């Protein structure tokens, strides 16, 4: 498969899997405002997914549209990072996963607005305002929960530590990512990582949280299709309709 | 959302005289937004360009408000239906992402209609990405300014019910991606605020 198609699928799969996870919280948010925020963010991510998949499907030229890419692939064909398939857990887990992702996503999207691929740059430009308020919101909640009560701080620190080993995969570039950097399509990993670490450090300091060591061992494999068992359960629900009634349409 | 119903007599008369782009814009100004029916898709700034091709087809360029706006398909269908009803046989829709939609494109008339409908119109730009959009000349600090937790300039949102600016935000997110929830501290009325974007 073409490097660019693969790269676009990675972008789309990250957004899709996180969107699906957030959608599962619809009606279950800890407060009405949070419930609406989670589903609004899920909707933004779903819209971005469609834009990435639409382009990937066109480039691939095999007749796969965004629905086929979302519903007709099995777990090993998904290229999302392992972070996004981690369970919703408690609200600190949900928001820490979101914060780690949003922070990377924001700096990535800023970088992609300068991509030499004009279609990628346009999708990034369209997404930029959305990912900006996503990051403002998740950073704000991390500060409020970290610098909150003794219990909220303990849970937020536990979530930070627990999810930390999944935060590095986005910066572990393989041949596909490096090809995108070489072509001027995607920003380099070290630049993104430096920006990510600086912003996480700033938010954690304000949240009175301890940042885990930057050189800690990191999980990887999701981008290459090697997933945890969580993804299978997510897909089972997300793809149920198309699996039970193949080709069903509105 | 009901498209303008086809009226054979009217369609016939439109066919006789080839419409110009201004006429098409006027027809599109009658197509309502499916979620906020008091304003049109032209008021909202969704329609970016209208061109009449030599072959008699009409090319309409539209842009989504938010990436995940679920109304886009409904809007596209409504445009096609409305122009068919006015006698334009071939309508080609184009989706444009860049430059990204902004509430700055909303017409003054549209803002007044929003207010009359009970939704406070967008006040001022709150997410400034101008420094980021500049491509190669982008200001490196702009990326950090946009996500700063430092206090942002406080928004003055007037209550669409009593006009008081003594209002308070309840939730950054509302019933659709484009709205936030506010409440008026004077008349006590809760209301939607159309966020700047």
> Which residue did the predictor score with more confidence, B131 or B166?
B166
Two tokens at B161?
A: 């019910």
- Check CB contact under 8 Å for B67 and A114: no
* Domain annotation for chain B: domains and CATH numbers: 8-95 (3.30.300.130), 103-194 (no CATH)
Supply the pLDDT for residue A114.
Answer: 95
* A128 interface with B at CB cutoff 8 Å: yes
Hey, is B49 helix, strand or coil? strand
Give me the residue spans of the domains in chain A.
3-210+218-244
Cα–Cα distance between A132 and B110 in angstroms, integer? 26
Nearest beta carbon to residue B68 from set A47, A125, A137: A47
Q: Please give the pLDDT value at position B62.
A: 96
Note whether A130 contacts B: Cβ–Cβ < 8 A. Answer: yes
> What pLDDT is attached to residue B164?
93
Q: What per-residue confidence (pLDDT) applies to A247?
A: 87
Please list the residues that pair with B58 across neighbouring strands.
B52, B91
Residue A131, chain B, CB below 8 Å: the answer is no
User: Are B99 and A106 a contacting pair at CB < 8 A?
Assistant: no
The pLDDT of B66-73, averaged and rounded, is: 89
Give the model's confidence band at B76: pLDDT under 50 very low, under 70 low, under 90 confident, else very high: very high
Q: Does residue B2 register a pLDDT over 50?
A: no
pLDDT tens digit sequence for B109-129: 999 999 999 999 988 654 555
Q: Other CB atoms closer than 10 Å to residue B168's CB: what's the count? A: 9
Provide the pLDDT for residue B33.
93
Distance from CA of A100 to the nearest CA of B (A): 14
**Of the candidate ranges A9-23, B8-22, B56-70, B72-86, the one whose mean pLDDT is the lowest:** B8-22
Complex ipTM: 0.85
The rounded distance, in Å, linking the Cα atoms of A87 and A163 is 10
pLDDT at B10: 46
DSSP characters for A99-121? HHHHHHHHHHHHHHTT-SSHHHH
Distance from CA of B117 to the nearest CA of A (A): 22
Ranges of chain A whose pLDDT falls below 50: none
pLDDT value at residue B56: 87
Q: Which residue has the tokens 């981008």?
A: A223
Q: Which of these CATH numbers, 3.40.50.1970, 3.40.50.720, 3.40.605.10, 1.20.1260.10, describes A3-210+218-244? A: 1.20.1260.10
Q: Transcribe A5-65 into DSSP letters.
A: HHHHHHHHHHHHHHHHHHHTTTTT-SSHHHHHHHHHHHHHHHHHHHHHHHHHHHHHTSS--
Is any Cβ of chain B less than 8 angstroms from the Cβ of A189? no
User: What is the per-residue pLDDT for B3?
Assistant: 42
Residue of B68, B73, B190 for testing the chain A interface, max A β-carbons within 10 Å = B68
Per-residue pLDDT tens digits for B81-120: 999 999 999 999 999 999 999 998 999 999 999 999 999 9
At B167, give phi and psi (nearest 5°).
-125, 165
| Subunit contact A44:B97, Cβ cutoff 8 A | no
How do residues B122-161 score in pLDDT, each as one tens digit? Answer: 886 545 555 555 444 445 566 666 777 665 666 789 999 9
Best B63, B100, B125, B179 member to test A by mutation, with max A CBs in 10 Å, is: B100
| pLDDT score for B127 | 53
Residue of B nearest to A36 (CA): B173
More confident: B55 or A17: A17
Q: What is the pLDDT of residue A167?
A: 98
**pLDDT band, residue B174 (cuts 50/70/90):** confident
Closest chain B residue to A114, measured at CA: B135
| Mean of pLDDT over chain B | 83
pTM, whole model, 2 decimals? Answer: 0.90
All residues of chain B having their beta carbon less than 8 Å from the beta carbon of residue A44 are 66-68, 177
Altogether, the residues listed in chain B come to a count of: 197
The reply to whether residue B97 touches residue A51, judged by beta carbons under 8 angstroms, is yes
Residue B128: the pLDDT is 56
């Amino acid at each position: 498969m073409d490097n660019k198609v693969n790269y676009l699928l990675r972008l789309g799969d990250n957004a899709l899997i996180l969107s699906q996870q957030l959608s599962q919280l619809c009606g279950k948010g800890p407060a009405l405002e949070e419930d609406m925020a989670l589903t609004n963010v899920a909707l933004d991510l779903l819209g971005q997914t469609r834009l990435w998949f639409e382009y990937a499907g066109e480039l691939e030229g095999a007749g796969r549209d965004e629905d086929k890419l979302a519903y007709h692939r099995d777990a090993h064909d998904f290229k999302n990072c392992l972070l996004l398939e981690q369970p919703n857990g408690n609200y600190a887990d949900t928001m820490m996963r979101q914060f780690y992702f949003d922070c990377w996503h924001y700096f990535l999207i800023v970088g992609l607005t300068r991509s030499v691929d004009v279609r990628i740059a346009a999708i990034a430009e369209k997404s930029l305002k959305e990912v900006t308020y996503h990051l403002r919101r998740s950073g704000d909640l991390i500060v409020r929960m970290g610098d909150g009560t003794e219990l909220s701080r303990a849970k937020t620190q536990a979530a930070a530590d627990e999810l930390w080993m999944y935060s590095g995969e986005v910066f572990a570039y393989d041949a596909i990512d490096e090809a995108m950097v070489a072509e001027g399509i995607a920003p380099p990993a070290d630049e993104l990582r430096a920006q990510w670490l600086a912003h996480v450090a700033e938010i954690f300091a304000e949240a009175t949280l301890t940042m885990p060591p930057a050189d800690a061992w990191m999980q990887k494999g999701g981008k290459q299709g090697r997933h945890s068992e969580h993804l299978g359960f997510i897909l089972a629900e997300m793809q149920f309709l198309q699996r039970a009634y193949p080709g069903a349409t509105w | 959302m009901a498209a303008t119903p086809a009226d054979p007599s009217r369609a016939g008369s439109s066919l006789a005289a080839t419409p110009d782009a201004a006429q098409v814009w006027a027809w599109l100004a009658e197509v309502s937004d499916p979620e906020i029916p008091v304003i049109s898709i032209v008021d909202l700034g969704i329609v970016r360009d209208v061109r009449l091709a030599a072959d008699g087809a009409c090319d309409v360029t539209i842009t989504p408000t938010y990436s995940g706006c679920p109304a886009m398909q409904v809007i596209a269908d409504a445009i096609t239906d409305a122009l068919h009803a006015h006698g334009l046989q071939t309508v080609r829709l184009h989706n444009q992402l860049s430059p990204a939609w902004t509430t700055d494109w909303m017409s003054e008339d549209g803002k007044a209609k929003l207010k009359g409908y009970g939704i406070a119109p967008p006040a001022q730009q709150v997410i400034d990405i101008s420094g980021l959009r500049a491509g190669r000349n982008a200001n490196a600090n702009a990326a950090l300014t946009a996500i700063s937790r430092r206090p942002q300039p406080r928004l003055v949102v007037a209550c669409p019910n009593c006009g008081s600016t003594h209002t308070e935000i309840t939730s950054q997110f509302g019933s659709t991606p484009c709205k936030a929830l506010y409440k008026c501290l004077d008349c006590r009325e809760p209301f939607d605020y159309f966020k700047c974007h």
